Structure 1
Amino acid sequence: MQELHKLLDQLQSDISSFDKVNLAVSSGSVGWHIAHSLKTIDQIVTACKHSNPSEYQWHFNFKRFLIMSVAKKIPRGKARAPKIVRPEGDISPETLALSLENVRENIKNWKSLDKNTHFPHPFFGVLNKKETENFLVLHTKHHRMIIKDILK
């Protein structure tokens, strides 16, 4: 989770540019991408905490293998965020800072979770703790790159 903590620090530094938009890059503002990233992390970590590790069963998933092991990059514009992780309402520096604080609190005891803690990803199938951590880093990096391109 060390890499995710660094990415959270970077998202925090982007909050001051929350209202910036570049339609050539994305229809979402910098704030939207930050809010989406934070909501995704929070929802997934919460789902893992509520999972039953004894129910986890690994299954090969070609999309997961291709994106997470071979490409190590999420392609842009190929998928749409599920409604559950799309930001709603007003996005402000204050709401983003509060969301960031909540995420940091939620991931505090990540290390203590069982290795078979898991959550069902809509494209990659059921991800265990290690795969989840890798996905969270990959997903957050994806949105950080979009933010960087918006700010260019």
Structure 2
Amino acid sequence: MLLQKQIAELESYIPRMEQVNSKVTHSTVGWQIDHSLRVIYGVSQQMEISNPNEFESKFNFTKLIIMTTGYIPRGKAKAPKAVRNENPITEESIRDLVEKIKEQILKLNTLDKNAHFEHPYFGKLNKKEAIRFLGIHTGHHLKIIRDMLN
């Protein structure tokens, strides 16, 4: 699964979590890792508790473009408060989150096809769309990290 490979890559950058490259972004590598992991964890938790009978697909142009191209432009959206860490980001906190996520994403495949979460810009995403979004979003932050470190 792509997401598992991406999580392993995020994990590989933990030793460099304090690095900053202001030419790319003002956040640290650790912030990028933490944010990516929080999104994966939050989306998977929301899908798990969602009611598949309440899923209703609606056309959304922004969703169509991003889900089709697999590209999220940089600096266009601000991370919602729920996926921003207001506490100090430590190696221990990131490693704890990685372990929680490894357990959580195994549950994704067992969910109903209409398990869903509400994206702040795209609306409701079903299981297939949500997994695609997580891959795109995580890939976006991995590209930022790679650019920061090069």
What do residues 36-88 of structure 1 show as CA deviations (whole Å, max 9, x unaligned)?
A: 0001111110000010001111111100001111x211000000000110122
Q: Percent identity?
A: 45
Distance 1:85 1:123 in 2: 14
Secondary structure of the structure 1 residue equivalent to 2:124: strand
Structure with greater proportional strand content: 2
Moved over 3 A (4+): none
Q: In the comparison of the two structures, how many residue pairs are matched? A: 150
Root mean square deviation of aligned Cα: 0.7
Per the normalisation by structure 2, the TM-score is 0.98
Q: Which runs of 5+ in 1 are unaligned?
A: none
Secondary structure of the structure 1 residue equivalent to 2:25: coil
What do residues 3-31 of structure 1 show as CA deviations (whole Å, max 9, x unaligned)?
A: 00000000010001000001111111000
Residue of structure 1 in register with 2:15 after alignment? 16
What do residues 88-147 of structure 1 show as CA deviations (whole Å, max 9, x unaligned)?
A: 211121111111111111112211100000011011111000000000000000000000
Per the normalisation by structure 1, the TM-score is 0.97
Residue of structure 2 in register with 1:64 after alignment? 63
Counterpart of 2:82, as a letter, is I
Residue of structure 2 in register with 1:73 after alignment? 71
Residue of structure 2 in register with 1:126 after alignment? 124
Residue of structure 1 in register with 2:54 after alignment? 55
Counterpart of 1:47, as a letter, is Q
